[in-house]
Chain A
Amino acid sequence: MNPFSSGTRLRDMIRAIRACKTAAEERGVVRKECAAIRAAINENDNDYRHRNLAKLMFIHMLGYPTHFGQMECLKLIASSEFPEKRIGYLGLMLLLDERQEVLMLVTNSLKQDLNHSNQYIVGLALCALGNICSAEMARDLAPEVERLLQFRDPNTRKKAALCAIRIIRKVPDLAENFINPAAALLKEKHHGVLITGVQLCTDLCKASADALEYFREKCTEGLVKTLKDVANSPYAPEYDIAGITDPFLHIRLLKLLRVLGQGDADASDLMNDILAQVATKTESNKNAGNAILYECVETIMSIEDNGGLRVLAINILGRFLSNRDNNIRYVALNMLMKAITVDAQAVQRHRATILECVKDSDASIRKRALELVYLLINESNVKPLTKELIDYLEVSDQEFKGDLTAKICSLIAKFSPEKIWYIDQMLKVLSEAGNFVKDEVWHALIVVISNASDLHGYTVRALYRALQTSVEQESLVRVAVWCIGEYGDMLIKNVGMLDIEDPITVTESDAVDIIELAIKRHTSDLTTKAMSLIALLKLSSRFPSCSERIQDIIVQNRGNLVLELQQRSIEFNSIIQKHQNIRSALVERMPVLDEATFIGRRAGSMPATVSTSSGASLNLPNGVAKPSAAPLVDLLDLSLDDAPAPSSSGGDFLQDLLGVDLSPASNQSGTNQASKTGTDVLLDLLSIETPPVQSSSSPPDVLSSIQDNKSPVASLEELALPSSLSGQATTPVGAAPMMDLLDGFVSNPPKPENNGSVYPSVVAFESAALRITFDFSKPPGNPQTTSIQATFTNLSPNVYTDFIFQAAVPKFLQLHLDPASSNTLPAIGNGSITQNLRVTNSQHGKKSLVMRIRIAYKINDKDVLEEGQISNFPRGL
């Protein structure tokens, strides 16, 4: 015996750990113990192995790593003594799981122990095998288990039966070997063996059709009799729970009968009587009885139809549903979900009670009930039920509102009998829980509104009213802003009054107030603000009296930090200021959105609704963020992403939208529409006499991609890459044509807002395989900041994948990297990746820029790393 090995007993260690006041103290104790245990392991200490493993198990339970003790389990299992084996197997089950390779080493010991003369040792081995065996072990040891199913001691037989379950779950092919021995178990009297035997048969039926057929033929009658016996058995203290003899056996028998009766009328017939007896005679004042009834109902619902029994079952569920115990109500709701496919009418009778459950204080019950209500709603009851749900929306918990809102919206969309009802209900939902409404849902609402031409006035007024009280519901604000932008005149003039409406008086400036509020509220997100800007532009033409005020608001946004808003504000301002003659045509009301296309897209390809799936910059339903492809299309495209995309037929769309007579131009463009870009069309449209050089000199590369890319989604995504964002006021590429284009009208074109590339581009880095060039620009009014557009060009014939560019700068600089346009760099001559960087030089004028870079990419899955330093930045950055 080693006097230096860890002397503390398990009890002392636990006491020491419990005495710790802080986590750090506890860690200290555990560390010390673990060190002692490791030392003992290294010395191969036999006397304390047993105690050390027990300690390790406790430490493991506290969440500390104990992998070093795994081999100790194996050593203890290999010992010949029962106490060692017992703790060894316990440790094995606790410290290991089936995926650890160490486990394979134990197969041999297990095999020996399964053949041991001591039944308790056999039991230990079976227990370990049943709890953690892997597929390989299952294959290796299946014959042993099969043999043990006929072992003389019943306690070993029952363990072997459950072990067999684990084996066939891991290796279903082995099922056949167990069919016969399993059937033999069903004849036993010992409850443990019977319970496990029935369970084994149930699992065998799931694993093998042969087994199902076999048991159905041979065992159904016997099982019915067993159930009858146990149901009618007199009081047996050993198995009694709440006055019922062995409810566990009841339940397992009912479960197996369900499997056997499903899809087989003869077998179902055999069990009808006993099911009726169990359903009527079982006491339901205790949990055990209810558990049996619950199982019995499920069996009745699943086996072949017997009208009488089903009525009985539904009645039991009705009773459950009105029970005061939440558990019982929960399982009733659970079961009614299954019953609805069998007998919807019967379930409908309990509608009122189920609806009450939606308002329960218990989240589990609410969730179940809501799902059930959802299944119960049809055309005939949608109105009252939806009203109930919407009323409840007002008072429901925050965390439940998301689920509830989604379900209500889907119900309204699915069953709405008429448009006005749909719009009314949606407005209610938006006012109550607009923040929980998904983007697709309010997009759909806008499509519906746009299609309901006789309701435009009604809707916009209703929205205006709703907005007075629920300003904080983002999606309500969005829909309202869109509608006011489109139908603002109807709001003022009370066009299309319905009889049910109260007249309201809204002045033009009231309407502008609302939009101004939306754009100025700090909680409004980018989408709302962008939509508000567009609405303002539209109103500027619709409400000439407010035009100046609108212009003021737009001008205020020219300094917005968000590039998109900034750019749009500048553009819109320019439209209002300088292009009075085309403004009214530009901002005409949207054409009716095509409902069929929208629904088709939504159902067909979810990715098409870019707004929900892609990155932030795309998350703009009015397309404001849609990049350079067609700046003007964007600007007018107040529709959803899903409205005709510019990529499909930019030219056509614009023509429709503007309704401008552009016959000569469009005829020309018609021949080659796909390649027509927004700017081109606009040029044609406005028939400007500016030299075409400006627009053709800098068409962004990406535009060409539209031609090759048939799918609008793909092209949208491609266009969305940051590099191609026209939004960069600082990059000359995107925004400039647009500005120039419009400015072409003006006699005295103003200077562009900033004077971009006064700094020469540099080749920042060049190796045999890669070249990086930097283009510089300075945002106005901030000399410290430099925007850099990095262009990566592949100089090799191989494609680079997983391309990552990283840069580091000294402390006096601040670096911001935008995402790259792609992470795949095509081979030489096939294109490049661009990435925007923003460097802020806090020592502007004193120190010049310097940067370390690292580029990682893969060629044919091989990692390549390049590094370098860039110090050839132009002076004065």
Chain B
Amino acid sequence: MIHFVILNNRQGKVRLTKWYSTYSQKERSKVIRELTGIILSRGPKLCNFVEWRGLKVVYKRYAGLYFSMCIDQDDNELETLDIIHHYVEMLDRYFLNVCELDLIYNFHKAYYILDELLLAGELQESSRRTIARLVAAQDSLVETAREQASLLGELVKQTM
């Protein structure tokens, strides 16, 4: 299973973290610090796997962002790389040429997409189209609710 997902930039700033195994808040920041140090210091030609505390961290760099997923010793590292890529493609499709700023200002969107991709540390859906559709459907639900609210606001103003 995937124990956690961490997304950080080259300066080590965290852009997204998702924990599927139990880590206390204190442990979380320790893990992030430790792993960022290890991963950022690895050269570009090296393999994408780091053995860490009896687990394995699979990471991949996309532009200035590092996507890391921590998996069990006997999980498939190569597949995890594909899962990371799957996620990146989905972000790219959603934000249209995703960049770090998108993930900063719309971090919650990045989480929503991840929640359609992974659940309980396992892959949930292999079809990018399905995921895109599900996220879009939920986004439009939010939109409608917001429109209704503002319409209601207008009405209240007019009547007053």
Contacts and interface: CB of A to CB of B under 8 A. Distances in A.
Interface of A: 10-11, 14, 18, 54, 57-58, 61-63, 65, 81-83, 86-87, 90, 93-94, 97-99, 120, 123, 126-127, 130-131, 155, 158-159, 162-163, 165-166, 169, 191-192, 195-196, 199, 238-239, 241, 246-249, 251-252, 255, 287-288, 290-291, 294-295, 326-331, 334, 361-365, 367
B78 A290 contact: yes
B24 A97 contact: yes
Contact of B115 (A127, A191, A251, A295): A127
B126 A83 contact: no
B79 A195 contact: no
Nearest to B20: A131
Contacts of B85: 287
Contact of A82 (B77, B78, B83, B142): B142
Contact of B112 (A14, A86, A199, A363): A86
A337 to B, nearest CB: 11
B29 interface: yes
Contacts of B15: 61
**Which residue, B51, B125, B129, has most C-beta atoms of chain A within 10 A?**
B125
Contacts of B86: 241, 248
Nearest to A155: B134
B125 A287 contact: no
B88 interface: no
Interface residues of B, number: 54
B50 A192 contact: no
B78 A294 contact: yes
Contacts of A169: 120
A248 B123 contact: yes
Contacts of B43: 361
Given A90-B111, A290-B78, A326 B46 contact: yes
25 contacts: A14-B104, A54-B108, A57-B107, A61-B107, A86-B112, A99-B22, A99-B24, A120-B137, A127-B119, A162-B124, A165-B122, A238-B128, A246-B126, A247-B82, A248-B82, A248-B83, A251-B76, A291-B78, A294-B76, A295-B79, A327-B49, A327-B81, A361-B45, A364-B46, A364-B51
B145 to A, nearest CB: 5
Nearest to B128: A238
Nearest to A1: B153
Contacts of A165: 120, 122
A158 B125 contact: yes
B122 A364 contact: no
A316 to B, nearest CB: 13
Interface in B134-149: 134, 137-138, 141-142, 145-146
A241 B146 contact: no
Contact of B49 (A99, A158, A163, A364): A364
B66 to A, nearest CB: 15
A718 to B, nearest CB: 37
Contacts of A334: 77
B47 interface: yes
A322 to B, nearest CB: 15
B124 A192 contact: yes
A162 B79 contact: no
Interface of B: 14-20, 22-25, 29, 43, 45-51, 76-79, 81-83, 85-86, 104-105, 107-108, 111-112, 115, 119-120, 122-130, 134, 137-138, 141-142, 145-146
A455 to B, nearest CB: 41
Given A155-B134, A291-B78, A326-B46, A162 B119 contact: yes
A195 B125 contact: yes
Contacts of A63: 14, 29
Contact of A330 (B19, B24, B77, B125): B77
B78 A327 contact: yes
A81 B49 CA distance: 43
B118 to A, nearest CB: 9
A241 B77 CA distance: 16
B48 A98 contact: no
A83 B145 contact: yes
Given A83-B141, A131-B18, A288-B78, 5 more contacts: A82-B138, A90-B111, A94-B111, A191-B125, A327-B48
A123 B16 CA distance: 21
Nearest 4 CB-CB pairings of A with B = A291-B78, A326-B47, A130-B120, A166-B120
A759 B70 CA distance: 66
A326 B45 contact: yes
Given A158-B125, A364-B47, A287 B81 contact: yes
A82 B29 CA distance: 31
A120 B138 contact: yes
A206 to B, nearest CB: 11
B79 to A, nearest CB: 4
Contacts of B19: 97
Contacts of B79: 247-248, 251, 291, 295
Nearest to B25: A97
Given A97-B25, A130-B119, A238 B78 contact: no
Contacts of A94: 111
A83 B145 CA distance: 7
Contact of B105 (A11, A81, A191, A251): A11
Contacts of A246: 126
A58 B119 CA distance: 22
Nearest to B74: A298
Contacts of A163: 119-120
Contact of A295 (B17, B23, B29, B76): B76
B50 A364 contact: yes
A239 B126 contact: yes
A350 B12 CA distance: 39
B120 A362 contact: no
B105 A155 contact: no
Contacts of B119: 126-127, 130-131, 159, 162-163
B126 A195 contact: yes
Contacts of B112: 86, 90
Contacts of A255: 76
Nearest to B137: A120
B126 A191 contact: yes
Nearest to B141: A82
B2 to A, nearest CB: 11
Nearest to A159: B119
The CB with the most chain B CB atoms within 10 A, among A98, A251, A327, is that of: A327
Contacts of B108: 54, 57, 87, 90
B106 to A, nearest CB: 9
B58 to A, nearest CB: 9
A327 to B, nearest CB: 5
Nearest to A83: B142
A90 B105 CA distance: 16
A774 B81 CA distance: 68
B51 A131 contact: no
A238 to B, nearest CB: 5
Contacts of B105: 10-11, 14
A159 B125 CA distance: 9
Contacts of B77: 327, 330-331, 334
A157 to B, nearest CB: 11
Contacts of B127: 191-192, 238-239
Nearest to B144: A82
Nearest to B48: A327
B48 A131 contact: no
Contact of B123 (A10, A120, A131, A199): A199
B138 A86 contact: yes
A54 B105 CA distance: 11
Contacts of A123: 134
Contacts of A99: 22, 24
Contacts of A249: 126
Given A14-B104, A155-B130, A291 B16 contact: no
Contacts of A162: 119-120, 122, 124
B50 to A, nearest CB: 6
A162 B122 CA distance: 7
Contacts of B130: 155, 192, 238
